[in-house]
Amino acid sequence: MRTVVDENGGGAPSERVLRRVAGAALSASTLEWYDFYIYGTAAALVFNTVFFPDVSPVLGTLAAFATFGVGFLFRPVGGIVFGHFGDRMGRKKLLVVAMVMMGVATTLIGLLPTYGTIGAAAPILLVLLRCVQGLAIGGQYGGAMLLVTENAPPHKRGFYGSFAQMGPSLAVILSNVVFLVLIAALPAEAFAAWGWRIPFLLSVVVIGLGLYVQLKLEDTPDFRELQEKAPAAGGPTPARTRSPLVEALRTHPLQILQSGGMIMVIQVYYYILIVFMVSYVGTLGVARSTILTIVLISSAATVLTIPLFAALSDRIGRKRVLIPSAVATLLSAFPFFWLMETATVPGMLAGALIAGIVLGGLYGPMAAFFTEMFSTGVRYSGASVGYQLGAVVGGGFAPLIAASLLAWSGTINAVAAFVAIAAVLTLVSIATTKEHYRPASVAAADPAREGA
């Protein structure tokens, strides 16, 4: 085992248990994000006509994207609420609650009457259920991430943490496969009338998985150690009398802002790719099945690169992977849009693969880095709030902002500039964040060095 200087270290379970935890985190993350993402795909494909039929196609699309963004407004709220109780009650329990909330809300969307049936009440109920989805996904990330990173030994934390990170990209693949099968199997009229409901109704599986996690997995060693330090009968320790969120804001304010900035371009780039571009290239004459397939392939590239870059960060350090990846993301912004605008399969595929690879390089080491940025008692709160703040600022309204920039400027270059600005913010955030993990090679070369 490598020698690691790590303030957040601790005993790790057996490899067998760790593999089970990693599989559960991957499954939970994938299915939760599947529920969250099918909304975006449906918003790009049918929600403008199903829930906003009385406005122009452009306004209907903007309204559908706006409801997509509403869920992101509630993600920080979910991060705050679930972070507080996750630091008090445990990672596993709150992950299960988030999964059940998501499964119920998404299933109800699949049962929701349309505008033609109940009028304005339909989009209102849609927005309310989207808010519940936002709360659930806001709490899910911290639970799934910490469940696996706090179980992993420090020198494998990057690799095992990547299992929680792969979930969103696997969810895009899963959701796009479901929609592609439905589009191929159903006439356009049937898909618009009732076929779009099927992906939402399938989310009942999330509830079952939540029960499995509750019954089969224990909480993390780090959290159990924190509980053991509390007095046996005298209530919480003085350090835990404050709300974990208040304590995180007091002790780690800069880290919360930095973690939000670190994922900024991931959110902007990714949601423009999987939501906005699905709608935009359709206006260029590209078939829905074609663009969904290209997004699926891009997500597969991200899934493959996430564990590779995460494992590399275990060997050379987090920032030595993240900074070059952020630079590559910045350099790829304009070429990505130029290639997608060719509306040819080779051009769009090349652009989507570029995006998928650079995003994998950025996203892979993030779970380990976030875990190492915060102390155990406030880790769920700090990591969740920072991540979700970056998500609401960067990702939630990225499709709406992109569509508005395109309508205002008439050129896709304005959207590319939006991504480039986000990439600069991410690069600055990573560069100014202290490195807490030191692999043996770095420690041997420079024992006095504390950060990168």
Mean pLDDT by 10 residues, the chain (452 residues): 39 72 84 82 81 75 78 83 81 84 91 88 89 87 83 89 89 86 88 89 83 71 66 47 77 90 93 86 87 90 95 94 96 95 94 95 93 85 85 80 92 95 96 84 48 41
**DSSP 8-class letter at 435:** P
**Closest of 264, 294, 263 to residue 277, by C-alpha:** 294
Token representation of residue 366: 């993030």
Query: Burial, 187: exposed, middle or buried (Cβ in 10 Å; 0-12, 13-18, 19+)?
Result: exposed
How many angstroms separate the CA atoms of 287 and 289, rounded? 5
Q: Spelled out in words, what is the top-level CATH class assigned to the domain 15-227+245-435?
A: mainly alpha
How many angstroms separate the CA atoms of 452 and 438, rounded? 9
Phi, psi of 151, deg, nearest 5: -85, -25
Instruction: State residue 223's pLDDT score.
Output: 67
Q: Locate tokens 């996904």: which residue? A: 137
Predicted TM-score of the model (pTM) = 0.81
Q: What is the distance in angstroms between the CA of the first residue and the CA of the last residue of the chain?
A: 22
**Closest of 91, 127, 124, 417 to residue 244, by C-alpha:** 91
Phi, psi of 252, deg, nearest 5: -135, 40
Neighbouring CB atoms inside 10 A of 113's CB total 11
Token representation of residue 32: 């939760």
Query: Can you tell me whether residue 10 is helix, strand or coil?
Result: coil
**Closest of 82, 112, 83 to residue 100, by C-alpha:** 82
How many angstroms separate the CA atoms of 397 and 392, rounded? 7
Tell me how far the alpha carbon of residue 88 is from its chain's centroid.
23
Tell me how far the alpha carbon of residue 24 is from its chain's centroid.
16
How many angstroms separate the CA atoms of 207 and 137, rounded? 14
Sequence-distant (6+) residues with CB within 8 A of 234 are: none
**What one-letter code names the amino acid at 358?**
V
The Cα-based distances of 427 to 272, 327, 379, 421 in angstroms read 19, 7, 23, 10
Sequence-distant (6+) residues with CB within 8 A of 90 are: 219, 223
How many angstroms separate the CA atoms of 105 and 38, rounded? 13
Angle at 209 between CA 208 and CA 214, to 5 degrees: 100
The Cα-based distances of 81 to 62, 184, 226, 259 in angstroms read 30, 41, 20, 18
Upper half-sphere CA count for residue 168 (Cβ side, 13 Å): 20
Instruction: State residue 412's pLDDT score.
Output: 94
Token representation of residue 360: 């994998």
How many angstroms separate the CA atoms of 188 and 249, rounded? 50
